[in-house]
Amino acid sequence: MSIEPETPANPEIDEQPFLDATAKAKSRYGRFNLAVIGGSGVGKSSLVNAVFGRDWAKVGKGLPVTRGVQYYHDDSLGIWDVEGFEIGSPVPPGEQLRGHLKAISEHPAKEQISVVWYCVKSNDDRLTPADIAMIRELDAAGLPVILVLTKVDWIKNPLTGQRGVAKSVEQFVSWLEDPVDPSTDQPISIPYERVILTSTSDKHGKGKGHGLGELVAETLTLAPEDEKDAFRIAQRLNLPWKREMARPVILGASAAAATAAAVPIPVADAIALAPIQLGMMGSIATIYDLELKTMMSAGALAQLGVQFAGQALARSVIKVIPGVGSVINAGVAAAITAATGEAWMRLCEQVHTGKLDLAKVQQSWGDYAPTFLDVMRKMMEQRMAKS
């Protein structure tokens, strides 16, 4: 049994709780700042776009900081784009990077680097002295470095189906694990945390690439505790992380709805739950990195508020619950809010992954709206949790 969205008829609902919750969530989660270092053509832009879904080359928000350094950012993510060592420069590579880091250090705390991706093309034989000098400079500055080998050609074994890499890449990785100076045969120190092989597409320029999930997981591990959630929001590859963040928001909103209906409220006054539900929606939209405020009109957000007021769904539920009458009690309010939150989370995932056009959210809500059975299931879960 599916419930059609209600028509806007209640001027008391506006979009402000949604906007307030969005602003509060953005402030709480903050911004994760990543430095991406590498020469021209190494594939930095493709890597950032594959992991974060942001085409920085076209976004138009770049802030030139100094020659060879540019800062791109939005609410959840900051990218420091740092060029590799310029061949022929009279300034040594370590000193050149030191100057870049000094320029970055003069920026506000919310723009400081947390993790570095040092990008090198996989078909290079080994790191150059300039690369090693720059990685050591990053380590001296206390910055964790992930050495990212880019543009890896993955070869599928026709017998086993397993994927591997060319022998030359294997040798490069082997050298990185135990680096030796070829001119002296002496071991050398290269202070990176891990080396990760990546590609952003297959050899035909299609597909989602390989190694990106491993890169995302390692980046989260190295991120400061107070920036981990910002990174979970900014990245586009791991949906379970977002669900883990969204579910406590739904639980909190359900508890708030139960409190609001501790003294049962008439179905006609179910609109009182709308601010709680809209606040929940705003927080979840932030977790899925959706900027609905700039993509939907205030009127459209207000209409969503009316649709989420829950009168129609409440009426269908209380009809089958003996002794409830025509009021919404705490259990019904909590269940409706929980079911609504789960449905909104599913819709946000569809938008986040590009399967649903954000402009069609309002028209598509009916396809995702919670059903009578969804609410009853939530009520059963609540009862089992209390028993």
How is the chain split into domains, by residue range? 16-25+238-386, 31-234
Mean of all residue pLDDT scores within the chain: 83
Report H helices in the chain. Answer: 16-29, 44-52, 56-59, 93-105, 129-140, 167-177, 212-222, 228-234, 239-260, 274-287, 292-295, 298-307, 311-318, 330-352, 361-368, 372-386
Strand partners, 37: 82, 118
Phi/psi of residue 312, nearest 5 degrees:
-65, -45
Whole-number percent of the chain with pLDDT over 70: 80
Q: What is the mean pLDDT of residues 305-325?
A: 61
Instruction: Say yes or no to pLDDT of 61 above 50.
Output: no
Instruction: Say yes or no to pLDDT of 58 above 90.
Output: no
Whole-number percent of the chain with pLDDT over 90: 43
Instruction: Say yes or no to pLDDT of 2 above 50.
Output: no
User: Can you give the length of the chain in residues?
Assistant: 387
What are the pLDDT digits (tens) for 184-196?
A: 889 999 999 999 9
Instruction: Say yes or no to pLDDT of 349 above 70.
Output: yes
Cβ atoms of 173 and 148 closer than 8 Å: no
Which is higher by pLDDT, 354 or 254?
254
Q: What is the mean pLDDT of residues 227-247?
A: 96
CATH T-level topology, domain 31-234? Rossmann fold (3.40.50)
Please report the pLDDT score of residue 4 as a whole number. 43
Q: Which two tokens stand for residue 189?
A: 């120190």
What are the pLDDT digits (tens) for 276-293?
A: 888 998 999 999 998 766
Instruction: Say yes or no to pLDDT of 176 above 60.
Output: yes
**Looking at residue 5, what DSSP letter applies?**
P
Cα 371 from Cα 243, distance rounded (Å)? 20
Alpha-carbon dihedral of residues 343, 345, 348, 354, nearest 10 degrees? -90
